[in-house]
């Protein structure tokens, strides 16, 4: 077994294609490709397995009772907080499972327990000895010096081994060994090689690359010449072409446009093997999986023979059934109370009131004039020695505009936002940028959540940011910060945690909280 590794809001939309702008509406440009983990790296993160188990590339081989994957009594905590407890779950051969749950529920953590990158407090995550595990994480960097085609087929080891076995068996027969054993070996090797698509290897590579959005001429380009989002696609292609029998995917569509997401959904739906998919992409989940498991309150709830749509229906049915049972219990309790009231005076009523929290942003200064930002006839790029990314860009952002930037990966959406912000003056190589003298920008970027101080407490980062700068407010208290963070889903003791103890989604909410306490009359959100 082997582990293979804006001024936002929305009335008007600007679509970017090539180096020109068109009116219309957002695709991500996130970060890099599938991972390949060494046995030593992953083994160092897991406790030594019992003597009867064998640890290979971070996963642990053991008795799965016929399943491709089995989790038994798994418990995982984050500091003093229990994240997952009493997890018992199995993935049978050729089942395709989608894992759903709110941010921070433990979806990526569960995949980490399977691959050995997350230490379990107790229990076991076992993989069948016949399984080849392929794992793609949310963040992974290629760093490859190969071409796209070379990198994509670099982990087709099963096919290479099948080809070597076929060559060996063929040579044995050609050398005069016509025994039943030699002929059977040749037939088996031939069947296995054909099953893995050995004679169509080149076509397989081209099909996967095309499905993920690459043009034929991209095959000979170096991986390093592509942006982070496209390098992530290369890594995904490499993983899919390695044909693992157990495929683990953590948010694979983050970096894909709609066409590539549609193709990936169809590919997974026909995948010859078992799949475990973590994704917030409802369309991808609906098109690809045939079972759903929901992480809620630290436990798993299974919905078998369900895609995402039927899972929602089944979940609603279960909720209504539970509500009906609860209502019946209330009626029985009311009848019992009536009987008791005949015997004793009724107790005094206690009325409890609740308040629904909402996010209240500070009042920004009222700007002069109509426009907040204007760029005119702008040529935009990072270096005058390279071809500019955008040309002839003219854009006015008046008060109250709600604008969505849309375009494929690498089109220049994030670049345009940086130019609009004006913090790198050299980006506008030609043309002009002007801003209202009372402009107050609130900015969220793709990288902000990842750049947070991992050792700092979340609430400290929010209060420090809110108090500093020309538009800072030294009266902001920890309580005010925690109220805002709670409105964004970071309630309880989460604001007191260090950044390194938060999930990716929770880190993004911390970053959003940081500028929510500063008065802004223009918000720019890059993939929030």
At residue 252's C-alpha, the angle toward residues 154 and 215, to 5°, is 60
Q: Is residue 335 part of a domain?
A: no
Are both 240 and 310 inside the same structural domain? yes
C-alpha radius of gyration, the chain, whole number: 28
Picking from 252, 172, 162, 231, the residue whose alpha carbon sits closest to that of residue 201 is: 162
Are both 131 and 247 inside the same structural domain? yes
Q: Is residue 300 part of a domain?
A: yes
Q: Is the pLDDT of residue 67 over 90?
A: yes
Helix 180-195 vs helix 157-174: crossing angle, to nearest 10: 150
Q: Is residue 98 part of a domain?
A: yes
Are both 419 and 482 inside the same structural domain? no
Are both 483 and 410 inside the same structural domain? no
Residue 360: which residues within 8 A CB-CB, separation 6 or more? none
Q: Is residue 154 part of a domain?
A: no
CA–CA dist 88, 485 (Å, integer)? 33
Residue-wise pLDDT for 145-173, tens only, equals 889 988 888 887 776 677 777 777 787 77
- Supply the CATH number for residue 464's domain: 3.40.50.300
Q: Is the pLDDT of residue 32 over 60?
A: no
How confident is the model at residue 198, as a pLDDT? Answer: 65
Q: Is residue 213 part of a domain?
A: no
Q: Is the pLDDT of residue 284 over 90?
A: yes
Q: What is the largest CA-CA distance in the chain?
A: 102
Q: Is residue 190 part of a domain?
A: no
Report which secondary-structure segment, H or E, holds 177: none
| Lowest mean pLDDT, pick from 25-34, 92-101, 460-469 | 25-34
Number of domains in the chain: 3
291-296 β-sheet, strand order: 3-4, 133-136, 246-250, 274-278, 96-100, 291-296, 299-304
CA–CA dist 493, 490 (Å, integer)? 8
Q: Which of 385, 404, 439 is the last residue of a domain?
A: 439
Are both 414 and 454 inside the same structural domain? no
Is residue 250 classed as helix, strand or coil in its secondary structure? Answer: strand
Q: Is residue 400 part of a domain?
A: yes
Other Cβ atoms less than 10 A from the Cβ of 234: the count is 26
Are both 477 and 427 inside the same structural domain? no
Are both 478 and 393 inside the same structural domain? no
CA–CA dist 489, 512 (Å, integer)? 11
**Residue 118 lies in domain:** 33-145+222-324
Average pLDDT rounded to a whole number, residues 9-25 = 33
Are both 15 and 56 inside the same structural domain? no
Q: Is the pLDDT of residue 479 over 50?
A: yes
Reading the block at residue 180, the tokens are 């039943």
3-class secondary structure for 99-132? EECCCCCCHHHHHHHHHCCCCCCEEEEEECCCCC
Distance of CA 49 to the CA centre of its chain: 29
Are both 23 and 125 inside the same structural domain? no
Are both 66 and 138 inside the same structural domain? yes
Q: Which of 295, 324, 353 is the last residue of a domain?
A: 324
Verdict on whether the full-model pTM lies above 0.75? no
Reading the block at residue 13, the tokens are 């939309």
Confidence at 141, pLDDT banded by 50, 70, 90: very low
Average pLDDT rounded to a whole number, residues 286-310 = 94
Residue-wise pLDDT for 431-471, tens only, equals 888 888 878 777 777 667 777 888 889 889 888 887 876 66
Q: How many CA atoms lie within 13 A of 509 on its CB side?
A: 23
Q: Is residue 403 part of a domain?
A: yes
Are both 419 and 466 inside the same structural domain? no
Picking from 269, 272, 306, 247, the residue whose alpha carbon sits closest to that of residue 94 is: 272
Confidence at 421, pLDDT banded by 50, 70, 90: confident
Are both 410 and 445 inside the same structural domain? no
Tell me the sheet residues that pair with 56: 59
How confident is the model at residue 216, as a pLDDT? Answer: 92
Residue-wise pLDDT for 342-394, tens only, equals 665 544 443 334 444 445 555 555 655 678 888 898 888 888 778 888 888 88
Residue-wise pLDDT for 161-212, tens only, equals 777 777 777 877 778 888 888 788 778 777 777 776 666 777 888 999 999 9
**Is the model more confident about 254 or about 37?**
254
Q: Which of 324, 352, 378 is the last residue of a domain?
A: 324
């Amino acid at each position: 077994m082997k582990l293979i590794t804006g001024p936002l809001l929305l009335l008007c939309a600007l679509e970017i294609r090539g180096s020109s702008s068109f009116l219309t509406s957002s695709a991500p440009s996130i970060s890099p490709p599938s991972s390949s983990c060494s046995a030593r790296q992953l083994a160092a993160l897991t406790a030594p397995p019992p003597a009867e188990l064998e640890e290979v590339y971070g996963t642990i081989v053991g008795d799965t009772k016929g399943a491709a994957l089995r989790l038994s009594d798994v418990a995982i905590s984050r500091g003093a907080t229990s994240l997952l407890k009493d997890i018992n779950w199995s993935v049978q051969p050729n089942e395709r499972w989608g894992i759903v749950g709110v941010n921070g529920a433990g979806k990526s953590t569960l995949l980490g327990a399977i691959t050995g990158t997350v230490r379990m407090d107790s229990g076991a995550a076992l993989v069948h000895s016949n399984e080849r595990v392929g794992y793609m994480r949310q963040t992974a960097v290629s760093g490859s010096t190969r071409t796209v085609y070379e990198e994509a087929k670099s982990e087709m080891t099963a096919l290479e081994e099948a080809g070597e076995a076929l060559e060996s068996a063929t040579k044995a027969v050609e050398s005069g060994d016509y025994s039943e054993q030699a002929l059977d070996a040749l037939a088996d090797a031939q069947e296995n090689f054909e099953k893995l698509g050995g004679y169509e290897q080149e076509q397989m590579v081209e099909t996967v690359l095309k499905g993920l959005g690459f043009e034929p001429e991209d095959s000979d380009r170096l991986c390093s010449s592509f942006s982070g989002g496209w390098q992530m696609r290369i890594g995904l292609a490499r993983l899919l072409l390695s044909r693992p029998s157990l495929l683990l995917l953590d948010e694979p569509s983050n970096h894909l446009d709609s066409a590539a997401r549609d193709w990936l959904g169809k590919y997974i739906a026909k995948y010859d093997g078992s799949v475990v998919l973590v994704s917030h992409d409802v369309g991808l989940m609906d098109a690809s999986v045939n079972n759903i498991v929901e992480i809620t309150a630290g436990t798993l709830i299974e919905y078998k023979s369900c895609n995402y749509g039927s899972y929602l229906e089944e979940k609603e049915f279960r909720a209504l059934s539970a509500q009906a049972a609860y209502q019946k219990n209330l009626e029985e309790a009311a009848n019992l109370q009536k009987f008791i009231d005949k015997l004793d005076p009724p107790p005094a009523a206690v009325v409890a009131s609740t308040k629904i929290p909402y996010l209240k942003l500070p009042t920004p200064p009222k700007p002069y004039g109509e426009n907040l930002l204007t760029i005119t006839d702008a040529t935009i790029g990072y270096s005058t020695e390279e071809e500019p990314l955008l040309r002839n860009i003219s854009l006015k952002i008046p008060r109250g505009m709600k604008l969505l930037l849309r375009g494929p990966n690498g089109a220049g959406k994030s670049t345009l936002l940086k130019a609009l912000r004006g913090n790198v003056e050299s980006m506008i190589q030609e043309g002009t940028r002007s801003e209202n003298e009372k402009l107050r920008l609130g900015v969220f970027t793709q990288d902000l959540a990842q750049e947070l101080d991992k050792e700092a407490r979340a609430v400290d980062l929010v209060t420090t940011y809110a108090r500093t700068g020309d538009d800072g407010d030294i009266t902001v208290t920890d309580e005010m910060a925690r109220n805002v963070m709670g409105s964004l889903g970071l309630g309880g003791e989460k604001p007191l945690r260090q950044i390194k103890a938060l999930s990716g989604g929770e880190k993004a909410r911390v970053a959003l909280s940081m500028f929510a306490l500063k008065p802004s009359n223009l918000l720019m959100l890059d993939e929030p």
